[in-house]
A and B are shown apart, each in its own frame.
Chain A
Amino acid sequence: MELEELKSAWAQYDKKLTQNLKLNEELLRKMNLEKSKKEMNAPLIYEIIYITISVIFLLFIASATIRYSYELKFLLPGIITSIIIVIWVYNSFSKIRLLSNIDYYYSPIIELQKSINTFKLMYQKYKKFELYSIPAFAISAIPILGIALRSFDIYEHPIRFIVAIVLSLVLCYPVQIWLYKNLYDKNIRNTTKFLDELSKFEQEE
């Protein structure tokens, strides 16, 4: 069978579809179209909430650090905590910028798939940093929070300090992992492999 015959068979098929396809308008109207828009922005909304909370927390930690800056044992963890939060906020801001710059509606396929994959790679990089920095964050934030919130010097109670660190890690990791899994990870598989395929697809001339 020749290719032209195949094309003409396809055209015939298209004609048959035109005659036989029906659109269920009622069902289309029933689809909660307006609502879907918001749900698609879930990661974006999460990042905005995350930044807001982080900035408030940063202001609190910074003011506590200044208040107790005469003692190095509080100044140092205060600075470390603040630096970690600043990096988290910066990462989150970069994600928002990239997400909102993706022109889903007018980008050609290659460009769009690339943008989505760039976002996914960026997210993976930041996720790694976030997961690794949680212990450092817990160790540095607990003393400054203790003194700022309850005027409690946790360094004088090493056992409690260790318990607090372990508890915060036990609480933080599952929550963080759950958020990653439900907001982003569903689409992250095969990203690198697909980027390679795209690059081959573009170069093959």
Chain B
Amino acid sequence: MEKDKFISVIKDNQNLIYKICYSYCSNAENRKDLQQEILLQLWNSFSKFDGRVKLLTWIYRIALNTAITFYRNDRKHSDKKVSIDASIISLSDFEYVPEQDENIAMLYQFIENLNEMDKALILLYLDDNKYKDIAEILGISETNVATKISRIKKILKEQFSKI
């Protein structure tokens, strides 16, 4: 029963997991491993979720924490917990390929060059989260979030103004 509930939560938030994996791993093989790792971490903490924070905040925190740790380990996943070859979250047969969308591909390229914390910031910003929520997810002040986002936005604007 708990598993069904978990699957339903994942189903509702698979976009978020997909985008985080795509931002932290440019390599498809690593992306698959990161996806599994995030799902495992979410499952491990699922029974402990008691609503102290919003469900979305909780998912962001776990997914981003896992992605940052994964990214820092030289993008290698040396401690695979399970051996599943296929992706659990994938695009359907009638595929939408992010690389074919020029703006999105460029955005991902921009995100790829950011450090692990800035990646998290820009993702949260692009997903239209409020500064207050971003601050809560990352554990920094709202002012700090505003400063950092404005800095990233400036670079982003410079890069995209050329288009």
Residue positions of A touching B, CB distance < 8 A:
1-3, 6-7, 9-11, 13-14, 16-25, 27-33, 35-37, 39-40, 104-113, 116, 186-187, 189-190, 194, 197-198, 201-202, 204-205
Contact = CB atoms under 8 A, between A and B. Distances in A.
Given A36-B81, A107-B61, A24 B88 contact: yes
B49 A105 contact: yes
27 contacts: A1-B160, A1-B163, A2-B157, A6-B126, A9-B103, A9-B107, A10-B107, A16-B96, A17-B18, A20-B92, A20-B96, A21-B18, A22-B91, A23-B88, A23-B89, A28-B7, A33-B40, A36-B82, A40-B44, A104-B45, A105-B58, A108-B137, A109-B120, A109-B138, A187-B73, A197-B117, A205-B147
Interface in B1-46: 3, 7, 10-11, 14-15, 18-19, 36, 39-41, 43-45
B65 A36 contact: no
B140 interface: yes
A108 B61 contact: yes
Given A21-B14, A31-B39, A197-B115, A113 B65 contact: yes
Q: Chain B interface secondary structure, helix, strand, loop or mixed? A: helix
B69 A14 contact: no
B84 A201 contact: no
Given A186-B73, A205-B144, A28 B117 contact: no
Interface in B49-96: 49, 52-53, 58, 61-62, 64-65, 68-69, 72-74, 78-79, 81-82, 84, 86-92, 94-96
B32 to A, nearest CB: 11
A31 B81 CA distance: 9
Nearest to A113: B68
Given A1-B161, A29-B3, A31-B88, A201 B72 contact: no
B88 to A, nearest CB: 5
